[in-house]
Structure 1
Amino acid sequence: MRLRRAGASALLIECGDGDEVEAWRREVSNRRDAGDLRVIDIVPGARTLLLDGVEPGTDTLIASWPPPARPTPEHREASLVEIPTVFDGDDLADVAELWSTSSDGVVARLVETNFTVAFCGFAPGFAYMRGHELTVPRLDAPRPRVPAGAVGLAGEYCGIYPTASPGGWRLVGHTTTSLFDVRREPPALLAPGTRVRLVAA
């Protein structure tokens, strides 16, 4: 872990991998909830954790903490969101070939995976979910338009497009679940740390 200042009131924790980011996100969140740390926003990334709105001296305080335990299934947060999914994506057969299995084999692997939202970005409500062990390369050229609700794979992540947009992820299915709604509180259905299961519909 490396700690860097980011502007006048923010700190950046640089981590080795996604599990370390999740460990620090959970540690910082717990200490804030306990009143031991003042921080306004906790923003995880693929290999970083940004803490915004911290007080002077927070870097010294955090540096004195022991490294948090890396997440295990027992440490995952209790919140679980199930996403009914129809596995009919245009790239399902290609993913099956990449994984040396059948389309049914891809579906079986995905519905058995316990995903965890690592971070959010790209578009409001778009969650980068970790959990499956096999990686998938992005498309060589992105599609001009991916429909809302499309479920895709890229690298080590699974994601669901909250709105129609260009995208280069491998599409394996779709859902009618609303991922982002400004009239809802909170607007985003999936937040960092949330556990997610894809349920075959």
Structure 2
Amino acid sequence: MSGNGTSSRAVRVCVRVLRVGERALLVELDGGAEAEAFHAEVLRRRAAGVLPAVREVVPAARTVLLDGVADPDRLAAELPGWEVGPLSARVERVVEVPVRYDGPDLAEVAACWGVSAEEAVRIHTAAEFRVAFCGFAPGFGYLTGLGERYEVPRRATPRTAVPAGSVALAGPYTGVYPRSSPGGWQLIGTTDAVLWDTGRDPAALLSPGTRVRFTAEDAR
């Protein structure tokens, strides 16, 4: 199953279900694409009212935690037999994030891809991303969508301070730093979008499952 959601049919995924306390299940999957698709399937079934009551769904890189499960024994027995539909089967709103592609690592990323900086911007803005999971800091989403050929390594030496709003790449992910913090991702641009606002509902601009597109703005 592709991380870009290109599969067109439901498939059975390999899962390992672990009990966590009395009311939670940790579902382990083979990889990030499988975890992303499984998380989308959980949300589909919950919306359709065919999922036993689950209080919270927490996706990660290769796992999905189901917490506050009303009938964990029943659900644990059912999960290995699930057929997981394609990511493209879900219809969600698309969040557009305007970016000034002025990052200090843009040229290095372009060289890694074997293209010019202008072409690197075109590649990044042409892709449709999806928030696979969140972590690291409130409002920080790990976005998939570029594909394996565009994976880039983290910096050999992390920066002691990455400015808030920095758009960055590492491995298969794109992310936006919601606040200034240390970090080792490759910085390709900056945005004025507010990623985390406790006065907003929801506070996070990018939550798991959200579709995202980056648009290019002129550098200032």
Shift of 1:76: 4.1
Aligned-residue CA RMSD (Å): 1.3
Instruction: Find the aligned partners of 2:72 and 2:65 in 1 and give their Cα distance.
Output: 15
2:8 paired residue number = none
Instruction: Find the aligned partners of 2:162 and 2:64 in 1 and give their Cα distance.
Output: 29
Q: Residue 170 of structure 2: which of 149, 154, 166 is its match?
A: 154
Letter in 2 for 1:150: S
User: TM-score normalized by structure 2?
Assistant: 0.86
Native 8 Å contact 1:77 1:194 kept in 2:
no
Native 8 Å contact 1:21 1:45 kept in 2:
yes
Shift of 1:35: 3.0
Q: Residue 139 of structure 1: which of 141, 147, 155 is its match?
A: 155
Taking only the aligned residue pairs, the percentage that are identical comes to 48
1:116 paired residue number = 130
User: TM-score normalized by structure 1?
Assistant: 0.94
- In the alignment, does 2:68 pair up with 1:53? yes
Instruction: Find the aligned partners of 1:123 and 1:196 in 2 and give their Cα distance.
Output: 19
Q: Residue 2 of structure 1: which of 5, 8, 16 is its match?
A: 16
- Give a deviation string over 1:1-47, Cα, whole Å, max 9, x none: 21111222111111122221122212222222333311111111111
1:184 paired residue number = 200
Q: Residue 88 of structure 1: which of 99, 102, 118 is its match?
A: 102
Give 5+ residue unaligned stretches, structure 1. none
Instruction: Find the aligned partners of 2:212 and 2:145 in 1 and give their Cα distance.
Output: 10
Instruction: Find the aligned partners of 2:40 and 2:129 in 1 and give their Cα distance.
Output: 16
Counting matched residue pairs gives 198
1:43 paired residue number = 58
Instruction: Find the aligned partners of 2:90 and 2:126 in 1 and give their Cα distance.
Output: 16
Native 8 Å contact 1:91 1:170 kept in 2:
yes
Native 8 Å contact 2:139 2:195 kept in 1:
yes
Instruction: Find the aligned partners of 1:172 and 1:182 in 2 and give their Cα distance.
Output: 27
Letter in 2 for 1:147: P
Aligned structure 1 segments of 4 or more residues deviating by more than 3 angstroms: none
- Give a deviation string over 1:110-156, Cα, whole Å, max 9, x none: 00010110000000000000000210100111101001100000000
2:6 paired residue number = none
- Give a deviation string over 1:57-100, Cα, whole Å, max 9, x none: 2211323x4321232xx324321000000000010011011111
